[in-house]
């Protein structure tokens, strides 16, 4: 009989009752060090006092307001994002997938209103993940995500990751509206697009007029030690998707855009009942207050160095289990020689939560405010987990 919860997830037999910082406490009282953070969502850890305060204070004022009215918390968070980024304007969503829907609409409407309605194609990359809606699975294009869900939304072409010539050729086609890419593929296995390639992509977009859309749902909001990952390359997109960390665990997403890319999205062209609601935006502003600070971001970079160094040591100590470390900031991946699911399971035995990804990688995405002692503890537990696999 089908379970009451639609079984689209292969869930681990773990039930958590509460969280504290980088730790989750199971029903039986066992403590797990959380190096997944809800897949890069709990950017400031569990039960963060500043976020709890923002949420509960707002909850006592007003929970929901329609976007038929002005929402001060939404305006405040939008102003913060505009101040700290390339963007001129922001639309709030409840998730990354909804942000994917809007970036597709925005790019197509941009060209429609520019008098080139045939420019509708969006170039994406193999291994990409942009969500599970019809547009997002068509964008990713993989068989794993699309099989059985046709007919797919047309107008997407996937390019091989790292094939510069294919990109150079494809982007010049007259029907191309935009390129959509994750600066670091998350689900795809912590695969960073090198800075020089992001710069090259920006140059190609400038030359052709094609819009550059970045999906920073997983790699954004301080995850790489900069507020947004593209800052490392010294370039900025025309449109960007954000979600996960921006709400610190409260559902919140956003599309950020420059005015020229967003201008065609006029009254009535898009909307959301819950997008930009006061609760989510109050929490989002509290996240930005903390993560948007330079000192906080430099701490993320310092901790990344510490963690990475320890992981390199583990790779050297367990050459049968690990192949190498990849990623940036606190978005790190261990390329494995064993099945990632086996390492994740061995981690559970050690009270450690990690997240598998494609390309034989296990992801480490701890809260950005993780303490040095918890990093050291995670390394000890990973060492034991890897050791148990070798012994097996
Ligand atoms: C890069 C990227 N884009 C989009 C999404 C979809 O976000 P959501 O699950 O909030 O809809 C995800 C989720 O994992 C993601 O990692």
**Residue 244 placed within a domain:** yes
- Determine the Cα–Cα distance for residues 308 and 224; give it in Å rounded to an integer: 12
**Residue 45 placed within a domain:** no
Q: Where does a domain end: 233, 268, 291?
A: 291
**Residue 349 placed within a domain:** yes
* Residue 215, marked binder: yes
> What contacts 24+ positions apart, CB below 8 Å, involve 351-355?
351/30, 351/31, 351/32, 351/33, 351/381, 352/32, 352/33, 352/35, 352/378, 352/381, 352/382, 352/385, 353/24, 353/32, 353/33, 353/34, 353/35, 353/36, 354/35, 354/36, 354/382, 355/35, 355/36, 355/39
- Strands of the sheet containing 16-20, edge to edge, are 16-20, 23-26, 31-34, 352-353
**Residue 36 placed within a domain:** no
Indicate if ligand 1 lies below 6 Å from the C-beta of 96. Answer: yes
Q: What's the pLDDT at 331?
A: 98
Indicate if ligand 1 lies below 6 Å from the C-beta of 182. Answer: yes
* Residue 266, marked binder: no
pLDDT in tens, 293-346: 999 999 999 999 999 999 999 999 999 999 999 999 999 999 999 999 999 999
Question: Structural domain of residue 221, as residue ranges?
Answer: 50-291
Residue nearest to atom 7 of ligand 1 (CA): 96
Weakly modelled stretches of the chain, pLDDT under 70? 391-392
* Residue 15, marked binder: no
Indicate if ligand 1 lies below 6 Å from the C-beta of 139. Answer: no
According to DSSP, the β-strands at 361-364 and 121-125 are unpaired
231 secondary structure, DSSP code: G
- 29 CA → ligand 1 middle, Å: 31
- 300 CA → ligand 1 middle, Å: 22
Question: What CATH number has the domain bearing residue 307?
Answer: 3.90.1150.10
* Residue 196, marked binder: no
Indicate if ligand 1 lies below 6 Å from the C-beta of 97. Answer: yes
Total Cβ atoms within 10 A of residue 89: 16
Q: Structure pTM?
A: 0.98
Confirm if 35 and 366 have CB atoms less than 8 A apart: yes
Q: Are residues 254 and 312 in the same domain?
A: no
How many domains are there within the chain?
Answer: 2
Indicate if ligand 1 lies below 6 Å from the C-beta of 186. Answer: yes
**Residue 41 placed within a domain:** no
* Residue 380, marked binder: no
**Residue 121 placed within a domain:** yes
**Residue 112 placed within a domain:** yes
Residue nearest to atom 16 of ligand 1 (CA): 218
Q: Are residues 286 and 323 in the same domain?
A: no
Indicate if ligand 1 lies below 6 Å from the C-beta of 369. Answer: no
* Residue 320, marked binder: no
User: Using CA of residue 156, residue 160, residue 166, residue 167, what is the dihedral sign?
Assistant: positive
* Nearest partner of 120 among 128, 129, 111, judged by Cα: 111
* Residue 96, marked binder: yes
Q: What's the pLDDT at 390?
A: 73
Residue nearest to atom 13 of ligand 1 (CA): 131
Q: Are residues 78 and 174 in the same domain?
A: yes
**Residue 19 placed within a domain:** no
- 129 CA → ligand 1 middle, Å: 7
* Residue 97, marked binder: yes
According to DSSP, the β-strands at 331-336 and 361-364 are antiparallel
The pair of three-digit structure tokens given for residue 354, joined into one six-digit string: 């990690």
Q: Where does a domain end: 240, 272, 291?
A: 291
Question: How far apart, in Å, do the first and last CA atoms of the chain sit?
Answer: 35
Which mutation among 9, 104, 129, 357 tests ligand 1's pocket best, with the greatest number of atoms within 8 A of CB?
Answer: 129
Q: Where does a domain end: 291, 312, 331?
A: 291
The pair of three-digit structure tokens given for residue 185, joined into one six-digit string: 């593929």
Residue nearest to atom 3 of ligand 1 (CA): 130
Indicate if ligand 1 lies below 6 Å from the C-beta of 93. Answer: no
Indicate if ligand 1 lies below 6 Å from the C-beta of 215. Answer: yes
């Amino acid at each position: 009989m089908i379970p009451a919860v639609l079984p689209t997830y292969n869930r681990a037999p773990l039930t958590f009752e509460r969280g504290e910082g980088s730790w989750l406490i199971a029903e039986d009282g066992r403590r797990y060090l959380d190096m997944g953070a809800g897949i890069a969502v709990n950017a400031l850890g569990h039960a963060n006092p500043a976020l709890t305060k923002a949420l509960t204070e707002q909850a006592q004022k007003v929970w929901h307001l329609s976007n038929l009215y002005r929402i001060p918390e939404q305006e405040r968070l939008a102003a913060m994002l505009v101040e700290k980024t390339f963007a001129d304007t922001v639309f709030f969503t409840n998730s990354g997938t909804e942000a994917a829907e809007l970036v597709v609409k925005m790019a197509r409407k941009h060209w429609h209103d520019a008098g080139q309605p045939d420019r509708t194609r969006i170039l994406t990359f193999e291994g990409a993940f942009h969500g599970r809606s019809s547009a997002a699975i068509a964008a990713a294009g993989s068989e794993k995500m699309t099989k059985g869900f046709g007919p797919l939304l047309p107008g997407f072409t996937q390019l091989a990751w790292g094939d510069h010539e294919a990109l150079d050729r494809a982007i010049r086609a007259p029907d191309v509206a935009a390129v959509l890419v994750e600066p670091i593929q998350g689900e795809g296995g912590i695969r960073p697009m090198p800075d020089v390639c992001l710069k090259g992509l920006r140059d190609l977009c400038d030359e052709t007029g094609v819009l550059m859309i970045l999906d920073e749902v997983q790699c954004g909001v301080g995850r790489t030690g900069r507020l947004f990952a593209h800052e490392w390359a010294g370039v900025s997109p025309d449109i960007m998707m954000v979600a996960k960390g921006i709400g610190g665990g409260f559902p919140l997403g956003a599309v950020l855009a420059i005015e020229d890319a967003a201008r065609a999205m006029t009254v009535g062209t898009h909307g959301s009942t819950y997008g930009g609601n006061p609760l989510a935006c109050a929490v989002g502003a509290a996240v930005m207050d903390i993560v948007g600070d330079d000192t906080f971001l430099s701490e993320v970079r310092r901790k990344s160095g510490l963690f990475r160094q320890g992981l390199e040591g583990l790779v050297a100590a367990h050459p049968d289990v690990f192949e190498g470390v990849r990623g940036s900031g606190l978005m790190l991946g261990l390329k494995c020689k064993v099945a990632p699911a086996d390492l994740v399971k061995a981690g559970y035995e050690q009270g450690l939560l990690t997240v598998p990804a494609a390309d034989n990688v296990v992801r480490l995405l701890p809260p950005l405010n993780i303490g040095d002692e918890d990093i050291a503890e995670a390394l000890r537990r990973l060492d034991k987990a890897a050791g148990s696999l070798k012994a097996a």
